[in-house]
Amino acid sequence: MTRALSRIIGSYFCLGCVTVACSGGGTADPDTTGGSANRGGGGASSATGGAANSAGMTGGSSASGGASAATGGSAGGGTNSAKGGASSGAGATLGGTSTGGMKSAGGSSGGRSSGGTSGTGAAAGMAGGGGAARNCKRGIAANTAPAAAFFPAVAWWYNWSPKRTGTDVGIEFTPMVWGAADVNAMLPAGSKYLLTFNEPNFHAQSNLTAAQAASYWPMLEAKASALNIPLVSPGMNFCGPAADCNGTNPYQYLKDFFAVCQGCKVDYVAVHWYNCDLPSLKDYLEPGGNLEGFEQFGKPIWLTEFSCDGGATVAAQEAYMRAAVPYLNQNPHVFRYSWFSAGPIPNAKLMNADGSPTALGQVYIGLPEDCR
């Protein structure tokens, strides 16, 4: 897996786990499965233009520094993937990191709506076949398949790929068409949802303009239609510096995508976020704050990557998890969420190499959830 971390630091706020006077850096690196590196990027930005490092697991390496929304920052480099933070001018005024990258899969029961709108059917978890189905939101984004100890507390998982890996222990797998190269890939029988393009506004991720993403959408609609399953939008994140992006602002990218893809079937909106505090997560999703909020698109939200960034301790990751998960469970606009558990952020990992829970994984399993 690879993934991108981007810290969005605003002109007036310094939010996140890093307490070093808004000058933190991020980490990013790739895991591998089957000897080939997955995709993603990383890099936390700061008010002075963060730095990033890499510490890959078994394959490849990637790292990128973020650009700060205040100063524009500068991007680092990496071999497999790289991503920066929010761009100045187009970025947010509040902090928040986000990440992309990695192929993965996950899934779960839940709703779909027709005609390109999710409306109340998806939000309420209406099953594609017409009957109501309970939706348990909690998932995992990881290259390693979760072991049986995670079931049934974790309802779904994904690995940034169209294909499942590991043993099926009853946790729903959701396939992802990570980029253009996966558009023709076969999807597993029994899939419940289809995740799509990973951070296409990043050159180092799936690297598609809004128009290019829209041009592939009829093929994705056909794949989803063949299985009678809902489609999730491209997974978005702030990007920077501008020279490394197909647009720095994830809200604007989706606006452009929907403008070009009028009439397209999009049932859910997918987003990533890596800041380490609850207020900025709320601001990222909800309207009326310093950020625009993804609720503006009127579609249920999948938060498909979230945790603290690579500079956070295990204790900080746990504290953020304990604050964020109850909010995500209770927010009716959030349909699903998946904690980021992979090599680029070792202290956020929920699983050991064999898929068994780490201490943090045990916390994730034990947090209450009211499935609806």
Among residues 74, 26, 78, 12, the alpha carbon closest in space to that of 48 is found at: 74
Q: How far apart are CA 238 and CA 92, in angstroms?
A: 8
Average pLDDT over residues 57-80: 34
Q: What is the mean pLDDT of the chain?
A: 74
Residues 106, 305: contact at Cβ < 8 Å? Answer: no
> In 199-318, where do the E strands start and end?
231-236, 268-273, 301-306
Instruction: Count the neighbouring beta carbons within 10 Å of the beta carbon of residue 283.
Output: 26
User: Which residue is associated with the tokens 């790289």?
Assistant: 82
The number of residues in the chain equals 372
> What is the per-residue pLDDT for 133?
61
Residue 31 predicted with pLDDT over 90: no
Backbone angles phi, psi at 172, to 5 degrees: -65, 135
Residue 174 predicted with pLDDT over 70: yes
Residue 106 predicted with pLDDT over 80: no
Residue 93 predicted with pLDDT over 70: no
> What is the per-residue pLDDT for 370?
80
Question: pLDDT tens for residues 33-66?
Answer: 332 333 333 333 333 233 333 333 333 333 333 3
- 128 pLDDT band, cuts 50/70/90, is very low
Reading the block at residue 286, the tokens are 């909800």
Residue 69 predicted with pLDDT over 50: no
Is 236 strand, coil or helix?
Answer: strand
- Of 75-84, 119-128, 187-196, 218-227, the one with minimum mean pLDDT is 75-84
Q: Percentage of the chain surpassing pLDDT 90?
A: 63
Residue 194 predicted with pLDDT over 90: yes
